[in-house]
Amino acid sequence: MRPILLSGHERALTQVKYNADGDIIFSVSKDHVVCAWFSHNGERLGTYHGHVGALWTVDVDPTSTLLATGGADNTIRLWEVRTGKQLKSWEFGTAIKRVEFSPDGRQLLGITEKRQGHLSTIFVYEINPDPSAEQTDEQSLRIVCDEAKATVAGFSYGAKYIISGHEDGTVCQWDAKSGEFLDSVQAHEADMQVTDLQWAPDRTYFITASKDKTAKLMSTNDLEILKTYTTDTPLNSAAITPVKDFVILGGGQAAMDVTTTSARQGKFEARFYHKIFMEEIGRVRGHFGPLNYVAVHPKGTGYCSGGEDGYVRVHHFDKPYFDFMYEVEREQQANL
């Protein structure tokens, strides 16, 4: 496996994302620029300019026509993927920590930071998927998180629920139509921030990563904790791999403590766990800073990770990855 190193950013990566077909990777970093890359060879398709602050988040709609980004300049911007043209900018009182499109791409969710007297809010915009159309300024939904600020959120299958992860380690379920609070679970240790929430391909379950060094697989409907993956380092990101039943966890010593640790001690590795057996099956080294985000190719053929070191590393899995099976899995396959 020869990783492709993407060095288009000058500062720490904050999020990387594949589009629905997996041929383009979008990356955002603290250097204000959004980059689009072809995943198969690492060629840069282009850059999106306009933001004037560190970027925290990016998401692309299912048809790869619209791109949403949010960052510390208190704006969410909508871009045309193909040309790099900015279509819309929404202004907020505080920084944007997360954006995500609904599965049909007609809704866009955003989370604002809690600061300067503003409470953290989750809001939803209706999106017109036509790039030439005028986008609305009106929020179709507002959820104010007055207890603990939301850090991550996403739409469930069919945009039925909004699931959010919070600063205090809880995971909440909201009705995506009415904004009504439905359920809440203390999934992670108290006061340990939920750092990432990524969906399974069908969005009936998801994985959360937390600073409490664990990642949890949870069901969308009743927020039941299905699996727990325990590591020895604070986690920044977790992803579920299609095709093979694995999860990839990324993390490492917090960025501010990095200078005091060597690369080896810092545990800057992507960790692969078996999704069902919750056992670690391998690690991929390479970054020399914590991994801030890991994203899996939607077809399960590879993954990419964005690190605090400013690099995106794109990996295409090779044969041993696909061949690997536990003894019981092999037996089961033989019996079929």
Partner 1 sequence: MSRVAGRTDWAEEEDEDSLQLPQTQITKNKDGTETIVTFSIREDGKKVKTTRRIKKTTIKQVVDPRVAERKQWEKFGQEKGKPTGPQTDTTSIAENIVFRPVANWKASAEDKSETEKKKANLKDAKIKCRICSGDHWTTKCPFKDTMAPEGGDAAAPIDDAPEAAGGLGAGGSSYVPPHLRGRAGAGEKMGGKFERDDLATLRVTNVSEFAEEGDLREMFSRFGHVTRVFLAKDRETGRAKGFAFVSYADRDDAAKACEKMDGYGFGHLILRVEFAKKAT
Q: How far apart are CA 24 and CA 60, in angstroms?
A: 10
Contact residue for partner 1 among 17, 166, 216, 313 (CB under 8 A): 313
Is position 24 an interface residue for partner 1 (rule: CB under 8 A)? yes
User: How many chain residues bind partner 1 (CB under 8 A)?
Assistant: 46
Neighbours of 299 (CB within 10 A): 13
Is position 318 an interface residue for partner 1 (rule: CB under 8 A)? yes
CB of 316 to partner 1, least distance (A): 11
CB-nearer residue toward partner 1: 41 or 260: 41
CB-nearer residue toward partner 1: 254 or 281: 281
The region, left, alpha or beta by phi > 0 then psi within -120 to 50, assigned to residue 252 is left
Q: Which of the stretches 21-29, 146-154, 168-176, 186-194 binds partner 1 when contact is defined by CB under 8 A?
A: 21-29
Q: How far apart are CA 315 and CA 25, in angstroms?
A: 12
The candidate with the shortest Cα–Cα distance to 101, out of 131, 73, 125, is 125
CB of 244 to partner 1, least distance (A): 9
Neighbours of 271 (CB within 10 A): 24
CB of 236 to partner 1, least distance (A): 20
Q: How far is CA 57 from CA 26, 27, 42, in A?
A: 10, 9, 21
Query: Reduced to 3 DSSP states, what percent helix, strand and coil does the chain have, rounded to the nearest 5?
Result: 10, 50, 45
Amino acid letter, 198: Q
Is position 330 an interface residue for partner 1 (rule: CB under 8 A)? no
Is position 268 an interface residue for partner 1 (rule: CB under 8 A)? no
Q: How far is CA 72 from CA 77, 94, 330, in A?
A: 12, 7, 49
State CA 319 to chain mean position distance: 26
CB of 174 to partner 1, least distance (A): 33
CB-nearer residue toward partner 1: 41 or 262: 41
CB of 239 to partner 1, least distance (A): 16
Partners of residue 249 on adjacent β-strands: 238, 271
User: Which parts of 46-75 interact with partner 1 (CB under 8 A)?
Assistant: 46-49, 64
The pair of structure tokens assigned to 234 is 């604070």
Is position 320 an interface residue for partner 1 (rule: CB under 8 A)? yes
- Going by the DSSP 8-state scheme, the letter that residue 114 receives in this structure is P
Q: How far apart are CA 94 and CA 290, in angstroms?
A: 26
Contact residue for partner 1 among 11, 23, 128, 185 (CB under 8 A): 23
Q: How far apart are CA 86 and CA 79, in angstroms?
A: 4
CB of 145 to partner 1, least distance (A): 35
Is position 136 an interface residue for partner 1 (rule: CB under 8 A)? no
CB of 3 to partner 1, least distance (A): 4
Q: Which of the stretches 78-86, 130-138, 173-181, 191-199 binds partner 1 when contact is defined by CB under 8 A?
A: 78-86
Q: Which residues are near partner 1 by CB under 8 A?
A: 1-8, 21, 23-24, 33, 37-38, 41-49, 64, 82-84, 246, 272, 279-286, 313, 315, 317-318, 320-321, 324, 326-327
